[in-house]
Structure 1
Amino acid sequence: MTDPIRARALGALPHGFFGRRGGVSTGAYASLNVGIGSDDDPQAVAQNRLIATRAVRPGAALVTPYQVHSADAVTILVPPADGHRPQGDALVTDRSGLALGILTADCAPVLLADAQAGVVAAAHAGWKGAIGGITDTTILAMEAIGADRGRIVAAIGPCIARASYEVDAAFLRRFAADDPENERFFADGRRADHYQFDLEAYVAHRLAGAGVGRIEALGIDTYADADGFFSYRRATHHGEGDNGRQIAIIAVE
Structure 2
Amino acid sequence: MILERLKADNLGAVRHGFYTRKGGASSGIFQGLNCGVGSSDQRDIVAINRARVASDMGVAPTALVGVHQYHSADVVVIDAPSDARPKADAMVTNQPNIALGILTADCQPVLFADPKAGVIGAAHAGWKGALDGVLSRTVEAMEALGAARADISAAIGPCISQKAYEVGPEFFEDFIAQDHGYSQFFAGGNEDRMQFDLPGFGLHMLREAGVGHTAWIGHCTYSDDARFYSYRRTTHLNEADYGRLISVIRL
Q: One fold, TM greater than 0.5?
A: yes
- Structure 1 counterpart SS, 2:149: coil
In angstroms, what is the RMSD of aligned CA positions? 0.9
Tell me the number of residue pairs that the alignment of Structure 1 and Structure 2 aligns.
249
1:97 Cα deviation after fit: 1.6
The residue that corresponds to 1:70 in the other structure is 72
- Structure 2 counterpart SS, 1:122: strand
Identity of aligned residues (%): 49
- Taking structure 1 as the reference length, what is the TM-score of the superposition? 0.97
- Structure 2 counterpart SS, 1:131: helix
CA contact (8 A) 2:106 2:232 kept: yes
What residue ranges of structure 2 are gaps of 5+ in the alignment?
none
CA shift digits 1:213-242 (9 cap, x unpaired)? 000111210000011100000000110121
1:52 Cα deviation after fit: 1.2
1:47 Cα deviation after fit: 0.8
1:159 Cα deviation after fit: 0.2
CA shift digits 1:126-159 (9 cap, x unpaired)? 0010000000110010011110011000000000
- Structure 2 counterpart SS, 1:241: coil
- Taking structure 2 as the reference length, what is the TM-score of the superposition? 0.98
CA contact (8 A) 1:92 1:121 kept: yes
CA shift digits 1:174-194 (9 cap, x unpaired)? 1011110000000001x2110
The residue that corresponds to 1:247 in the other structure is 246
CA contact (8 A) 2:18 2:157 kept: yes
1:57 Cα deviation after fit: 2.7
> 92-101 or 49-58: which moved more?
49-58
Q: Which amino acid aligns with 2:84?
A: H
Tell me how far apart the structure 2 counterparts of residues 25 and 89 of structure 1 sit (CA, whole Å): 25
The residue that corresponds to 2:116 in the other structure is 116
Tell me how far apart the structure 2 counterparts of residues 13 and 129 of structure 1 sit (CA, whole Å): 25
- Structure 2 counterpart SS, 1:86: coil
What residue ranges of structure 1 are gaps of 5+ in the alignment?
none
Tell me how far apart the structure 1 counterparts of residues 240 and 166 of structure 2 sit (CA, whole Å): 20
Q: Which amino acid aligns with 2:19?
A: F
Tell me how far apart the structure 2 counterparts of residues 220 and 178 of structure 1 sit (CA, whole Å): 28
The residue that corresponds to 2:174 in the other structure is 174
The residue that corresponds to 1:125 in the other structure is 125
